[in-house]
Amino acid sequence: MNTLSRSCWIASALYLTIGMGLGIYMGIAQDHTLAPAHAHLNLVGGVLLALFGSYYALAGSGVRRLGVIQVVCANLGVVTLAPGIALAVQGQGEGLAIVGSLLALASMLLFLTVVATQPRPVSA
């Protein structure tokens, strides 16, 4: 495991912990208004960061610089998209959700670039 993959997995577990907490809160409160924020925190945050962490664990240090930029961008996307969706579904503006969407999209394009330009085959 390298530092980049470890940071992805820590972030993933953190997002899933908060996302599950929100899910439990919604269940107890019987108010599912924030379900889209919960869904995207768990999926764009928890699931995608785990995916990135797995890739970087396999890829090793060959993708370091672009990989760090990609992971920073992905985390900025999560911390703006999930609260942005929460604000949007409560009618408090869509600006943050739009910023988060663009950051999430940018991080995925960067990931595509990282994977497609990987200089050598990924080895376990």
Give the number of other CB atoms < 10 A from CB of residue 103.
21
Q: Which is nearer to ligand HEM, 27 or 62 (CB)?
A: 27
Contact window for ligand HEM (CB under 6 A) among 6-14, 25-33, 68-76, 115-123: 25-33
Give the DSSP H/E element, type plus range, for residue 52: helix 48-59
Q: Which residue is nearest to ligand HEM (CB)?
A: 23
- Which one, of 59, 86, 80, 103, lies nearest residue 51 by Cα? 59
Q: Give long-range contacts, CB 8 A cutoff, 24+ apart: 102-106.
A: 103/73, 103/74, 103/76, 103/77, 104/44, 104/74, 104/77, 104/78, 105/77, 106/73, 106/77
- Distance from C-alpha of 19 to C-alpha of 40, rounded to nearest angstrom: 9
13 binds ligand HEM (CB under 6 A): no
Q: Which of 27, 62, 93, 95 binds ligand HEM (CB under 6 A)?
A: 27
Residue list 54-113, contact with ligand HEM (CB under 6 A): 101, 104-105
Instruction: Tell me the closest approach of the beta carbon of residue 21 to ligand HEM, in angstroms.
Output: 8
Q: Which residue has the tokens 């370091």?
A: 64
Q: Which of 14, 18, 20, 57 binds ligand HEM (CB under 6 A)?
A: 20
Q: Which of 7, 15, 46, 73 binds ligand HEM (CB under 6 A)?
A: 46
Contacting residues toward ligand HEM, per CB under 6 A: 16, 19-20, 23-24, 26-27, 32, 35-36, 38-40, 42-44, 46-47, 101, 104-105
